[in-house]
Amino acid sequence: MSHRIRFYSLAICALLPAVLPAQKIDLARVVSQRVSRNVQLPGEIYPYESVQLHAKVPSYVERVYVDRSSIVTKGDLLVQLSAPEMKAHIAQAQAQLTAAQAEEVQAEAQLQAAQSTYEHTQEAAKTPGVIAGNDLIQAEKQTQAARSLVEARQRSVESAKANLKALQDLAGYLQVTAPFDGVITTRFVHPGALVGPGADSPLLQLDHISRLRVTVAVPEADVGGIAKGARVPFTVPAYPGRTFSGTVARPAGALDQKTRTMPVELDFPNPEHLISPGMYPSVLWPVREPAPVLLVPASSIVTTTERVFVIRDNHGRAQWIDVRHGASVGDSVAVYGDLKPGDEVVQHGTDEIRDGTQLR
């Protein structure tokens, strides 16, 4: 009988798990911190202002005063155009104005004569029997007709002046000037070329490169940290080892539906013209979380095929807390879940520490 009891005891002991010595489990505190990091993004560089200059009237290129790489200031004469028929139109408009002014003078003289006749007739009519009533009415009507003629001639003069001014303004477009300070980056025409609204070819390409726009496509996940006025560094292959910086000036305010990114423009002063439009910069974009995030050691995060979690110390017992991890900050990782600052989690998490077990 004693042998049978001893056999059952051994069998039960074989089914029980081996009692291991208690191991120390290190805990780490959940920290709340505002996170900032940098991500490297590709960018593009554009002139601050750029325009292709066209001829507004049909004409011939008479002279080009600039060429590629010419530095110009606002108002400088760039191209002189020639349109001989324009001179004829202006001379004709000037003659029409002169004729209209002469007719106006003549109409005013007629009005003065009619007005004088009417006044004398009106004065004579005060004496009974001197002037017939019909004569007074005719004198008044002639005065009114003369006044209407003067008004018509005045309108003709104004119309002729407007026509002449329009032609003179149009002739002013024969002198193509710089609309802003910049550099001529492309020259398309030479003297003798026929240009105008019907021609597809522009005259010149003018770019303002003393100030540039550095455009960066910021991913959707990072647009919350965009801060206007922030300084952002970037590099270009033309100057290895050298870092430049621009100022965040114009976020687009909307995402590109295809790329899920937001274009952001940086202003970059370029007085020495070191950087050229068309270069592809590498931008070290600062990402700042809009609010503090919770940080835990990277080793605290347990990843299985079913879930991602950390093990929180819940009054001495393990509690699995599902989390979603974010950016890495040194040895820590930002996590999002049912945690709060000051909670303690297992520093070296593992799924062998089951939910609800005693933490020793």
CB 206 within 8 Å of CB 184? yes
Query: What gap in Å lies between CA 73 and CA 206, rounded to an integer?
Result: 11
Q: What integer pLDDT is reported at residue 15 of this predicted model? A: 45
The yes-or-no verdict on residue 278 having pLDDT over 90 is yes
Q: Which of 69, 344, 302, 92 is nearest to 182 (CA)?
A: 69
Q: Which of 255, 251, 249 is nearest to 219 (CA)?
A: 255
Could you give the strand order of the β-sheet that contains 77-82, starting from the edge strand earlier in sequence? Answer: 175-177, 77-82, 59-64, 194-195
Identify the band that residue 26 occupies on the pLDDT scale cut at 50, 70 and 90: confident
pLDDT average, residue stretch 51-75: 93
pLDDT tens for 29-48 read 999 887 777 788 999 999 99
Name the one residue in this structure whose structure tokens are 């509690």.
319
Its pTM stands at: 0.63
Question: How are the residues of the chain apportioned to helix, strand and coil, as percentages rounded to the nearest 5?
Answer: 30, 35, 35
Query: What gap in Å lies between CA 196 and CA 173, rounded to an integer?
Result: 11
CB 236 within 8 Å of CB 281? yes
Whether CATH 2.40.50.110 fits 38-47+208-288: no
pLDDT tens for 302-335 read 999 889 999 999 888 899 999 998 877 778 888 9
Query: What gap in Å lies between CA 164 and CA 273, rounded to an integer?
Result: 44
Query: Is the CA virtual torsion 172, 173, 177, 180 positive or negative?
Result: positive
Whether CATH 2.40.420.20 fits 292-360: yes
Q: Which of 351, 335, 228, 261 is nearest to 44 (CA)?
A: 261
Query: Could you say which of 2.102.10.10, 3.40.47.10, 3.30.2390.10, 2.40.50.100 is the CATH number of the domain covering 50-81+174-204?
Result: 2.40.50.100
Residues 108-118 as b/e (b if ≥16 CB within 10 A, e otherwise) read bebbeebeebb
The yes-or-no verdict on residue 273 having pLDDT over 80 is yes
pLDDT tens for 210-226 read 999 999 999 887 787 77
Question: Greater confidence, 76 or 164?
Answer: 76
Q: Give 164-226 as a DSSP string.
A: HHHHHHHHHTTEEE-SSSEEEEEE---TT-EESTT----SEEEEEEEEEEEEEEEEGGGGGG-
pLDDT tens for 337-357 read 989 999 999 989 988 888 888
Name the one residue in this structure whose structure tokens are 């021609």.
199
Query: What gap in Å lies between CA 223 and CA 217, rounded to an integer?
Result: 10
Identify the band that residue 18 occupies on the pLDDT scale cut at 50, 70 and 90: very low
Share of the chain above pLDDT 90, in %: 40
Question: Greater confidence, 282 or 17?
Answer: 282
Domains 38-47+208-288 and 50-81+174-204 alike in fold:
no
Burial class (CB in 10 A: 0-12, 13-18, 19+), 150: buried
Domain ranges of the chain: 38-47+208-288, 50-81+174-204, 84-172, 292-360
Q: CB pairs under 8 A, 24+ apart, for 222-229?
A: 222/39, 222/285, 222/287, 223/251, 223/255, 223/262, 224/289, 224/290, 225/36, 225/286, 225/287, 225/288, 225/289, 225/290, 226/251, 226/262, 226/264, 227/288
CB 310 within 8 Å of CB 345? yes
